[in-house]
Amino acid sequence: MKTLIAATALALTAVSASAMVDTSSIDQYAPNVDVSTLTDAEVNTILSVIHSGDSNSEKRALIQALVK
């Protein structure tokens, strides 16, 4: 029983940690976007663009197109 409780607590911690992704970098490229209205898939796509090797202007244009 203790093992089940510990495993459940660990799983819940992992889920909440992944839900609290640092989205402050999105503000650099799309400052007027309310990140809370985006889906997880949209946030993950935008973060992938931010961490890509594209230039800052390309990143900004792509991110702004994605959030419209």
pLDDT 10s digits, 17-37:
444 567 788 888 988 888 888
Query: Where exactly are the structural domains of the chain?
Result: 22-68
Q: How confident is the model at residue 2 (pLDDT cuts 50, 70, 90)?
A: low
Predicted model pTM? 0.65
Rounded average pLDDT over 47-60: 92
For residue 45, pLDDT over 70 is answered with: yes
Give one DSSP letter per residue of the chain, joined into a string: -HHHHHHHHHHHHHHHHHHS---HHHHHH-TT--GGGS-HHHHHHHHHHHTSSS-HHHHHHHHHHHH-
